[in-house]
Amino acid sequence: MFPAIEIRQVHKRFGTVQALRGVDLSIQQGEFFALLGPNGAGKSTLINILAGLALADSGNLKVLGHDVRADYREARRSIGVVPQELVYDAFFTVREMLQFQSGYFNIRNNDAWIDELLESLGLTDKADAYVRTLSGGMKRRVLVAQALVHKPPVIVLDEPTAGVDVELRQSLWGFIRRLNREGHTIVLTTHYLEEAETLCSRVAMLKQGEVVALDTTANLLNRYAAIQVSMRLDPPRLPDILQPLSSGQDGEVFKLSLKHHAELENVLRVLREAGISVAELGVSKPDLEDVFLKLVRS
């Protein structure tokens, strides 16, 4: 079985800027995969090359075994991309845009699927409205519907919930989860890291055009993230032996980063022996944001 997406040694330069530096990725069919990184890391460039909107300088990319350059037609039919930018035709209604998009793939008489998309994305009452009259959040819903109108087996979502309200975010993820359960491969880029942590089983992190981390969400949390402990101490003093664990101080509240919960008992023992009492204690579990920040700052 072919991978849903296979990327091998992809390089891309824009003038003096090296956007991608030998990216290697393999995403399996049926995965819910996150592609994360700071602004300028190369995420959108990689997606544009996958979608045929840009050409790699070297390397190759395949969608379900179809090379995006040599077998462009089949590769494009296999993928649906929701772009980060709001791109639309101002002179068509929502339904007309979806019908025209269907025509690009030689699909006719798919009104039932268009109606289902409109219903699932909360666009039914906007079906006959001109896209230019819609709010930013509604326009983004139209882009999602447009990317899905040909029922692609691979769906790439580039910041799909940027600037949308909480209600749409929840309904969109409910719909996308359903598509994933039905066998669609989902690739997500997002700055809402809690979304990636909740939805995605595997994560790749890009930095300056390179993959700096690639693993399951659980493994990344175990490997890179630290347990954050906040303690208000009396007297407000941290023994020298605990200084290497310190991640900051806010008044009488000291913050420590621990690799394992078991280390907390040793911290408390040191404090007791130093005659320091703990007036308040808070422990927060690691999340993808901790991993992200650690990798970006390193």
Which CATH number covers residue 241? Answer: 3.30.70
Containing structural domain, residue 124 = 5-222
Residue 265 included in any domain: yes
Pair (100, 139) in one structural domain: yes
- Please state the pTM of the whole predicted model: 0.79
Q: CB of 290 within 8 A of CB of 226?
A: yes
Pair (234, 133) in one structural domain: no
Pair (34, 148) in one structural domain: yes
Residue 140 included in any domain: yes
Per-residue pLDDT of the chain (298 residues; tens, 9 = 90+): 889 999 999 999 999 999 999 999 999 999 999 998 888 889 999 999 999 899 999 999 999 999 999 999 999 999 999 887 777 777 899 999 999 999 989 998 899 999 999 998 889 999 999 999 988 888 888 998 999 999 999 999 988 877 677 777 888 888 889 999 999 999 998 877 778 888 888 999 888 899 988 888 878 777 765 678 888 888 888 888 888 888 778 878 888 878 777 788 888 999 998 998 888 888 877 666 777 777 766 6
Q: Which residues contact 265 (CB under 8 A, 6 or more apart)?
A: none
Domain count, the chain: 2
Pair (125, 191) in one structural domain: yes
Residue 26 included in any domain: yes
Residue 91 included in any domain: yes
Pair (58, 186) in one structural domain: yes
Pair (41, 134) in one structural domain: yes
